[in-house]
Amino acid sequence: MRIEAVRSAFERFLEVVVIVLMVTLSAEVTLGIVYRTIGSSLVWYDEVAAILLAWLTFYGSALAALKRAHIGFPGLVNSLAPRWRVPAVVFAEACVIAFFALLGWVGYAVLDVLSTDFLVSLPSVSVAWTQSVIPIGALLFILAEVLTVPGLIASARGRGAIASSDLAEKLH
């Protein structure tokens, strides 16, 4: 019950982040069109929009992990008997966590190097600040995985499928 409350609060937090990024991205691109139309193009428009997309990618990915929405192929694991399914689920989760742990660690280490680089169109903004999304996003992804693992293992122990959320299907 306690983990469910944490999961729910974490989901609400990530939803707010995603909403803010989506709205800001839409507004920023629209603003870029308006300024260009009146003959006064914003020099930072492309660069900032691309940064917002990268942030949406990594923060949104953590939310997608929490909703089990990333595109996968659960068919084979679902067809296994529970005694094989549980180790398969644990192995898969360990691989995902290890991948993001490595990414987070290397991503954090490289920030120091990037702190002397600045955006082309906004020279006061450090590249390290924009790329902090990699270690932070990796940490949030790991947290999302950890919070969903107990439910996933419980499903793997039972007879039900461990299929991903239907959100994963909606893009096609």
- Please say which residue, 38 or 76, places its beta carbon nearer to other proteins: 76
Find the shortest distance in angstroms from Cβ 18 to other proteins. 4
Half-sphere exposure of 49 (CA within 13 A, CB side): 14
- Please say which residue, 88 or 125, places its beta carbon nearer to other proteins: 88
Instruction: Centre a 10 Å sphere on the Cβ of residue 60 and count the other Cβ atoms it contains.
Output: 19
Q: How many residues does the chain have?
A: 172
Contact criterion met (CB below 8 Å) for 115 and 128? yes
Token match 């990333």: residue?
Answer: 70
Say how many Å lie between the first and final Cα of the chain, rounded.
35
- Please say which residue, 3 or 22, places its beta carbon nearer to other proteins: 22
Give the footprint of other proteins on this chain (CB under 8 A). 15, 18-19, 21-23, 25-26, 29-30, 32-33, 46, 49-51, 53-54, 56-61, 63-64, 67, 69-77, 88-89, 91-92, 95-96, 99-100, 102-103, 106-107, 109-110, 113-114, 131, 133-135, 162, 166-172
Find the shortest distance in angstroms from Cβ 166 to other proteins. 8
Find the shortest distance in angstroms from Cβ 1 to other proteins. 25
- Please say which residue, 5 or 113, places its beta carbon nearer to other proteins: 113
DSSP character for 163? P
Nearest to 164 by CA among 140, 172, 32, 151: 151
Phi, psi torsion values for 118, nearest 5 degrees = -130, 160
Find the shortest distance in angstroms from Cβ 134 to other proteins. 5
- Please say which residue, 9 or 50, places its beta carbon nearer to other proteins: 50
